Amino acid sequence: MTQPPPTLSFRQQFLRFALDCDVLRFGEFKTKSGRLSPYFFNSGLFNSGESLRRLGAYYADAVLAAGVPFDMTFGPAYKGIPLVSALAIGLAEKGHNLPYAFNRKEAKDHGEGGLIVGAPLAGRVLIVDDVITAGTSVRESVALIRAAGATPAGVLIMLDRRERGTGTLSAVQEVEATFGIPVVAIASLPDVLELVATEPALHAHQQKIESYRAQYGVPS
């Protein structure tokens, strides 16, 4: 796995890292909504110890740069479990040793029992996920956090496509409007466009992505 040039912003480093892991792909891909997207992001391919270590560092860079105050982190089952673990390690490596937790899909009726594994939900809780599509996992996470008497502090994701959902807002904008919390992304569509504009091997995809944004995108 190659290391992106250190002179690049962490956002551009992350996208090149995603390319290297085959997480970010360019071509023609049919999305769940039926749209033909010129790029695709499959976070499940961050599937090794080294890739999770580096992902955790990029997550930490993004949330620390955003300045969102939080006391602990939470990963919604199941996908969020390795992600929140990676973030906790990434934060600790940068001098922020914070508690983390995740949930079970079904409450355990023996042993310690309950739905929450890890630290008790308390204070300002940052939710960690890969992307936001329908916002279902965020909605469930907010409900769990509030039920525990804690406060949702925000959501941290890998990529914000800045693409309209069924209405005029993007899925990220809908979450921010519904719950009144910020959504922080390591990278977003303008960063993808910067990548294809600066990498000669990717120039051929630039116009297709620009056209796709013109058709389905939301204002920054």
- Name the residues annotated as catalytic: 108, 110
Label each residue of the chain as H, E or C: CCCCCCCCCHHHHHHHHHHHCCCEEEEEEECCCCCEEEEEECHHHCCCHHHHHHHHHHHHHHHHHHCCCCCEEEECCCCHHHHHHHHHHHHHHCCCCCCEEEEEEEEECCCCCEEEEECCCCCEEEEECCCCCCCHHHHHHHHHHHHCCCEEEEEEEEEECCEECCCCCEHHHHHHHHHCCCEEEEEEHHHHHHHHHHCHHHHHHHHHHHHHHHHHECCC
* CA 130/CA 128 separation, integer angstroms: 7
